[in-house]
Amino acid sequence: MSKSNPYFWSAACLMLLVLQACNSSTTPPPAKNDNRTDIGKDKVYKGELTVFADEGLKPVIQQQIDVFEYLYDSVKVNVKYVHEKEVIDSFRSKHAGVVVITRDLDNRELEQMKATDTIYPREVLVSYDAVAIICKKQKEELDLDYTGLKNLFSPEATGKVKLVFDHQDASTVSFVLQKLGYTGQPSKNVFALKSADEVVNYCSQNADAFGFIPYSLVSDVDDVKAQAILKQVKILSLRAKNAQGEVVRVAANQSDIADGSYPLIRPVNAVLKYGHGDNLEWLFVNFMYKEKGARIFLKAGLIPARMPEREINVNTDAVSAQ
């Protein structure tokens, strides 16, 4: 990687960030149970690995790869960002050593991979993302709760509201419909465009549209593209009750993902094959799960499955004796 390349300096800055102590006090939902092994500390790693990732995760996964390649400069990651179906197909066809998806593999998929593809998948929960609901910047907040959101998708729903997704094969579509309990045909007001950019553009121009996009596209407040999106649209909140029974507003944000109050939270899972020893695939997955990768997820506005430890230095020199 050339030092004149802007990605080199982005990776360098990210590496410094992940090595600093984290000031976040959020507590993540419980992580998936997985029997992990440590990476050999004296082993030299070199070579290439192929990663397929859900395209909605591109901003944060690319940050992970940039820092990973900076730290392991003899390892090259070949990455493709595609729709969910292609991600799964690439793993089953063994074109990808690691895939990153926004859901758990279901039992049918697991059995098919074992029986047909002779693959024994290993799922590692590395972070939590969400699906954000967006609308025109000037639109007023709606008095909408989870039930009201679900009713918008009903086949019997009437009205002018358009529910817009980034692509018919995108993970956001299957996640939201399954989450809301729709296994058949939803409302005729549900549409799929060709990309998240098109959803943002459509919602910015149509007051009757609600868009559904991966939260990771707008979660990093320092990301130029995320800033550009949030200048065009805003993230809608929903009405909910907190642990004390009080009515509050929740939305796709780091705090409401951390405490589990936002209803459209989804996991970020890295999937690889069970194998012997610590290969490049496990090196990369372990990196995302452990402290440095966790700090990247935090900095990007998501919630890592394993929260990094915080170091608090107390200066007692200025404290006078009582």
Q: Are residues 86 and 148 in the same domain?
A: no
For residues 88 and 154, membership in a common domain is answered with no
Distances (CA, A) of 138 to 141, 144, 202, 219, 230: 9, 17, 14, 20, 12
Q: How is residue 92 written in tokens?
A: 């089953």
Cβ contacts of 156-162, under 8 Å, gap ≥ 24: 157/187, 157/189, 159/189, 160/208, 161/189, 161/208, 161/209, 161/210, 162/189, 162/191, 162/206, 162/208, 162/209, 162/210
> In this structure, is residue 260 part of a structural domain?
yes
By residue count, the chain amounts to: 322
| pLDDT reported for residue 245 | 84
Is residue 190 within a helix (H) or strand (E), and if so which, with residue range? strand 190-192
**Residues 58 and 181 grouped into a single domain:** no
Q: Is there a domain that residue 314 lies in?
A: no
**Which segments of the chain have a pLDDT < 50?**
1-31, 33-36, 321
pLDDT (0 to 100) of residue 314? 60
Query: Are 187 and 172 in the same domain?
Result: yes
In a domain, 311, yes or no: no
Interstrand relation of 47-54 and 247-250 (parallel, antiparallel or unpaired): unpaired
Within this chain, do residues 138 and 106 fall inside the same structural domain, yes or no? no
At 310 the pLDDT is 65
Same domain, 246 and 276: no
Per-residue model confidence (pLDDT) at position 26: 38
Asked if the structure places residue 63 within a domain, the reply is yes
Q: Are residues 72 and 60 in the same domain?
A: yes
Quick one: 111 and 139 in the same domain?
Answer: no
Q: Is residue 44 included in any domain, yes or no?
A: yes
Q: Which neighbouring-strand residues pair with 212?
A: 133, 165
Q: Which one, of 127, 126, 292, 150, lies nearest residue 215 by Cα?
A: 127
Do 95 and 82 lie in one domain? The reply is yes
Distance CA(40)–CA(141), nearest Å, equals 52
In terms of Cα–Cα distance, which of 261, 270, 276 is closest to 306?
Answer: 270
Among 211, 242, 264, give the residue marking a domain's end: 264
Cβ(87)–Cβ(101) below 8 Å: yes
Q: What is the pLDDT of residues 212-264, one digit of tens each?
A: 999 999 999 999 999 999 999 999 999 998 878 888 999 999 999 999 999 99
Q: Would 275 be classed as within a structural domain?
A: yes
Q: What is the 3-state secondary structure (H, E, C) of 85-120?
A: HHHHHHHHCCCCCEEEECCCCCHHHHHHHHHCCCCC
pLDDT of amino acid 146 = 92
How many domains does one find in the chain? 2
**String of b and e for 36-60 (b: at least 16 CB within 10 Å)?**
eeeeeeeeebeeebbbbbbbbbbbb
Q: Is residue 137 part of a domain?
A: yes
What are the residues whose beta carbons fall under 8 Å from the beta carbon of 311, sequence distance 6 or more?
21
Q: Are residues 85 and 208 in the same domain?
A: no
Domain-located, residue 317: no
- What's the confidence (pLDDT) of residue 43? 73
Same domain for 249 and 205? yes
Instruction: Say yes or no: 256 and 290 in one domain.
Output: no
Q: How many CA atoms lie within 13 A of 115 on its CB side?
A: 6
3-state SS, residue 266: strand
Q: Which domain holds residue 111?
A: 6-128+266-304
Domain of 206: which CATH number? 3.40.190.10
How does DSSP classify residue 178? H
